[in-house]
Amino acid sequence: MLSHDVGATSPPLLDETIGDNLARTTEAFGDREALVECATGRRWTYREFHEATRRIATALIERGTKPGDRIGIWSPNSAEWTMIQYATAQVGAILVNINPAYRVDELEYALNKASMCTVFAAPEFKSSDYVAMLGNVRGRCPALSDVIIIGWEPWQEIADTAVDSDALARVQAELKPGDPINIQYTSGTTGFPKGATLTHTNILNNGYFVGELLEYTEQDRVCIPVPFYHCFGMVMGNLACTTHGAAMVIPAPGFDPEASLKAVAAQRCTSLYGVPTMFIAELGLPDFDSFDLSTLRTGIMAGSTCPEQVMRNVIDRMHMSGVAICYGMTETSPVSTQTLPSDSLTRRVTTVGRVGPHLEVQVVDENGAQVERGTPGELCTRGYSVMLGYWDDPDKTDEAIDADGWMHTGDIGVMDDDGYLAITGRIKDMVIRGGENIYPREIEEFLYSHPDIVDAQVVGVTDEKYGEELMVWLRVKEGAEVPTPESLRAFCAGRIAHNKIPRYVQVIDEFPMTVTGKVRKVELRERGEELLGDS
């Protein structure tokens, strides 16, 4: 049997814009809570939230915003971020998510690449002075005519604008579900980031079906500590909620493990999101047992494979019996595969689930031919979720999406007989040692069984004899003895093949991460090369 699978076709795709969908949800659940911002204590019902977004949308029209205009947002998570997300959708403007960690050069590149005419920005966050950086680059960004600092007087005027229902209706009548509505810059580790261009259909449906598979209803309250800047927050979080009448709970502007658990307890959340490192941090809090997490039933873990013991703790100690593993990429809006609440623990720690509704996946060899099930190859996705393309970059688009509409993920996948997919690594992360392909994920999973290892990341470093050799970067438990190459080799001996045992061992306090919670293996590889060069 070949590695190809097609998702369910029921329920049907939502054939509407994000604005129309929010209006429909508001009509059904107007008095239910839509949004809670824990840092300020502010909260909105769906009727109040919809009204707030319509005020901003009206202000945008009055300021001359046209469908297709690019409007940037540069801010950590906040209620205003969410409102701007839905307001821009209602007027057909393309919201451009600017990474909160960007510095001046990256900001200037993003502003000019998308020709943003307006930017909404927080005044500052952590070590980033957004006002100063925007002032620095503004003169070099010819399309940028308006900078609105959230919380300052011009923002308040926008937020207080009287709703013009007729003007909004005229604009919304012209919008189509297939219109571009969002540009997300991929967190590339090399070269300039690419702007994945997504439509109403792309992200509205992806959020809806993620919520459907989690069995969301208007009774759910979702704690969202992951960044809105990325699909995880704004699609799997916000849009999964608003398509079901569920409540969006913002625990803090950035990830804070204590704030996340406080939010779950205080707001009686039923669902919690995070990448594995976030759950590890929450479980590791000294006073973890003091938080009442009994209302949790589900959630999402994504970004990387979850170690089995972490998953067991999330299910047993956090009460998240229905927690799902999701897999995807920005270019596919993002989720392509997902586990179900009914899936076994083994399925949830060894696979990323099966293909989602109205989507299609295949695993192919280097020639593009589907491989037999159980055989590794490149995972490809096709269907409603695939982006329109990279903004203003047709060559890169053609490299990613083939003539038959398949998005090539660059991930190595293996499909089993039941259609469940395991991701064994990135094609570019694969280590070729002495002519043999080695998948770092397999070694990392094994190393999680070491009693003193919290997390492990394996990379390839240059080696004269073998071409590449294995180096592992470890995070170890506080107070534990630091593993040496010799002690790690003894632990691995007889349990994994000798050629998979890392030759070099480095210990690190924190891994370099992208803003979406993925480990920057390129940086670890570079550091490893430097260390070996210095020795």
List the Cα angle 274/213/90 in 5-degree steps.
80
The answer to whether residues 3 and 373 touch, using CB atoms and an 8 Å cutoff, is yes
**Two tokens, residue 49:** 């939230």
Beta strands in 58-103 (DSSP E): 70-74, 94-97
What is the C-alpha separation between 423 and 133, in angstroms, rounded?
39
Q: Which pTM does this prediction carry?
A: 0.88
DSSP 251: -
User: For residue 11, is the peptide bond before it cis, meaning its omega torsion is within 30 degrees of 0?
Assistant: yes
What is the C-alpha separation between 154 and 135, in angstroms, rounded?
16
Residue with tokens 């480095």: 506
What is the C-alpha separation between 508 and 521, in angstroms, rounded?
13
Residue with tokens 């950086």: 133
Identity at 489, one-letter amino acid code: R
Query: Which H, E and C letters describe 105-129, residue by residue?
Result: HHHHHHHHHCCCCEEEECCEECCEE
Residue with tokens 């937020």: 159
- At residue 190, the pLDDT reads 47
Listed in sequence order, the DSSP H helices in 239-385 are: 240-242, 257-267, 276-283, 308-317, 345-350
- Bridge-based pairing of strands 271-274 and 247-250 is unpaired
Identity at 145, one-letter amino acid code: S
- Bridge-based pairing of strands 436-438 and 431-433 is antiparallel
Phi/psi of residue 92, nearest 5 degrees: 80, 10
H or E element at residue 31: none
The answer to whether residues 36 and 250 touch, using CB atoms and an 8 Å cutoff, is yes
Phi/psi of residue 499, nearest 5 degrees: -75, -5
Nearest CA-CA partner of 221 in 34, 25, 24:
34
In order along its 535 residues, the chain shows pLDDT tens digits of 999 999 999 999 999 999 999 999 999 999 999 999 999 999 999 999 999 999 999 999 999 999 999 999 999 999 999 999 999 999 999 999 998 988 898 899 999 999 999 999 999 999 999 999 999 999 999 999 999 999 999 999 999 999 999 999 999 999 999 999 999 998 654 457 899 999 999 999 999 999 999 999 999 999 999 999 999 999 999 999 999 999 999 999 999 999 999 999 999 999 999 988 899 899 999 999 999 999 999 999 987 778 888 999 999 999 999 999 999 999 999 999 999 999 999 999 999 999 999 999 999 999 999 999 999 999 999 999 999 999 999 999 999 999 999 999 999 999 999 999 999 888 888 888 887 878 888 899 889 899 999 999 999 999 888 889 999 999 999 999 999 999 999 999 888 888 899 999 999 999 998 755 678 888 999 999 999 987 6
- At residue 189, the pLDDT reads 44
